[in-house]
Structure 1
Amino acid sequence: MDSLHMIIRKPIVITLVVIGTWIILFYHYHDIPMQYYREYTSDVPLVVVNTQNGEPQTGFFKFQPEWDFKVPTIAKGWDGYARVPRNRDVVVLTASDGGGHNSAIKDILERVIDDRKHYCEKHGYTHLWLNTSRYDVGDAHRTWSKIPAVAEAFYLHPAAEWVWLIDTDIILMNPEYDLVEQILCPDAIRRNVMRDTPILDGQLKDKPTHIRTPKDPRIENMDILITQDHASVNTGSVFFRRSAFTRWILEMMTDYTMLMGLEHSGAEQDALKHLMLEHQLVRDHVAIFPQRKFNAFVQGGDKMGWRDGDLLVHLAGCWVNKHCGEWFEQFWSRRGQLWKPEKDPPQGA
Structure 2
Amino acid sequence: MQTFQLLPRKSVLLGITLVAFFVVLFRLYGDVPVEYYRNLSPDEGALPDVQVQNDKPQPGYFKAQPEWDWKVPPRARGWEGYAKSPRNRDVVVLTASDGGGHNSAIPNVLQRVLGDRKNYCDKHGYTNLWLNTSRYDIGAAHRTWSKIPAVAEAFYLYPEAEWVWLIDTDIIIMTPEYDLVEQILSPNAIKRGLMRGTPILDGQLKKNPTNISTPDEFRVEDIDILITQDHQSVNTGSTFFRRTAFTRYLLEIMTDYKMLMGSEHPGAEQDALKHLMLEHPLVRKHVGIYPQRKFNAYVQGGDNMGYRDGDLLVHFAGCWVGGKCQEWFEQFWEKKGHTDKWRPEGSQ
Taking structure 1 as the reference length, what is the TM-score of the superposition?
Answer: 0.84
Letter in 1 for 2:171: I
Aligned residue identity for 2:269? E
Is the Cα contact below 8 Å between 2:67 and 2:153 reproduced in 1?
yes
Supply the distance in 2 between the matched residues of 1:173 and 1:130 (Cα, whole angstroms).
Answer: 22
Instruction: Return the alpha-carbon distance in structure 1 between the equivalents of residues 331 and 253 of structure 2.
Output: 39
- Pair 1:154–1:44, CA change in 2 (3 A): farther
Matched, 1:340 2:342: yes
1:247 maps to what in 2? 248
Please give the secondary structure, in 1, of the residue aligned with 2:89: helix
Aligned partner of 1:20 in structure 2 is none
Paired with 2:91 and 2:311, the residues of 1 have a C-alpha distance of 19
Q: 1:115 and 1:44, CA in 2 relative to 1: closer, same or farther beyond 3 A?
A: closer
How far did residue 325 of structure 1 move?
0.2
Change (3 A) 1:207 1:55: farther
Q: Unmatched 5+ residue regions in structure 2?
A: 1-40
- Give, as a single letter, the amino acid of the residue that structure 2 aligns with 1:203: Q
TM-fit CA distance, 1:168: 0.3
| Equivalent residue number for residue 73 of structure 2 | 72
User: How many angstroms apart in 1 are the aligned matches of 2:117 and 2:47?
Assistant: 25
Aligned equivalents of 1:48, 1:108: Cα separation in 2 = 24
* Secondary structure of 1:195 counterpart: coil
Kindly provide the amino acid, as one letter, of the partner of residue 292 in structure 2: Q
Distance 1:207 1:72, change over 3 A: farther
User: Partner of 1:120: helix, strand, or coil?
Assistant: helix
CA spacing shift, 1:73–1:43, aligned 2, 3 Å: farther
Letter in 2 for 1:243: T
Q: Relative to 1, partners in 2 of residues 1:207 and 1:174: Cα closer, same or farther, differing over 3 Å? A: farther
In structure 1, C-alpha distance between the alignment counterparts of 2:251 and 2:347, rounded to whole Å: 37
Question: What SS does the aligned partner of 1:59 have?
Answer: coil
How does 1:170-209 map onto structure 2 within 5 Å? 170-206=171-207, 208-209=209-210
Which residues of 2 match residues 216-235 of structure 1 at below 5 A? 216-235=217-236
Instruction: Decide whether aligned partners of structure 1 residues 163 and 46 sit closer, same or farther in structure 2, where only a CA change above 3 A counts.
Output: closer
* Alignment deviations for residues 7-45 of structure 1 (CA, whole Å, 9 cap, x no partner): xxxxxxxxxxxxxxxxxxxxxxxxxxxxxxxxx9x9699
Residue equivalent to 1:323 = 324
Indicate the residue corresponding to 1:301 in structure 2.
302
Residue 105 of structure 1 aligns with an amino acid whose one-letter code is I
> Does the alignment pair 1:54 with 2:55?
yes
Deviation at 1:279, TM superposition (A): 0.1
| 1:80 CA displacement | 1.3
* Aligned Cα root-mean-square deviation (Å): 2.1
Superposed displacement of residue 134, structure 1: 0.2
Q: Residues 232 and 156 from structure 1, CA distance in 2 versus in 1: closer, same or farther, beyond 3 angstroms?
A: same
CA distance in 2, matches of 1:99, 1:188: 35
Q: Please tell me whether the aligned partners of residues 47 and 127 of structure 2 are also in contact (alpha carbons under 8 angstroms).
A: no
Tell me by how many angstroms 1:287 deviates.
0.2
SS of the residue 1:203 aligns to: helix
The CA distance in 2 between the partners of 1:68 and 1:44, in whole Å, is 26
Cα deviation 1:94-136 (Å, max 9, x = unaligned): 0000000010100000000000000000000000000000000
Q: Secondary structure of 2:217's partner? A: coil
Structure-to-structure mapping, 1:127-138, within 5 angstroms: 127-138=128-139
Instruction: Tell me how far apart the structure 1 counterparts of residues 220 and 300 of structure 2 sit (CA, whole Å).
Output: 31
- Does residue 281 of structure 1 match 2:248? no
Question: Could you tell me how far apart the structure 1 residues matched to 2:113 and 2:243 are?
Answer: 25
SS at match of 2:178: coil
Aligned to 1:167: 168
Percent identity of equivalent pairs: 72
Amino acid in structure 1 at the alignment position of 2:155: F
**Alpha-carbon deviation of 1:47?**
9.5
**Equivalent residue, structure 2, for 1:154:** 155
Task: Report the CA distance shift for 1:47/1:337 in structure 2 as closer, same or farther (over 3 A).
Answer: closer
The structure-2 alpha-carbon separation of the partners of 1:334 and 1:310, relative to structure 1 and needing over 3 Å to count, comes to same
Kindly provide the amino acid, as one letter, of the partner of residue 212 in structure 1. Answer: S
After superposition, what is the alpha-carbon deviation per residue over 1:261-310, rounded to whole angstroms, capped at 9, x for unaligned?
Answer: 01111000000000000000000000000000000000000010000000
Cα separation, 2, equivalents of 1:181 and 1:75:
21
Separation (CA, whole Å) in 2 of partners of 1:46 and 1:117? 14
TM-score normalised per structure 2: 0.85
- Structure 1: 5+ residue stretches without partners: 1-39
> Partner of 1:24 in structure 2?
none
Instruction: Sort the Cα spacing of 1:219 and 1:208 in 2 relative to 1 into closer, same or farther, 3 A.
Output: farther
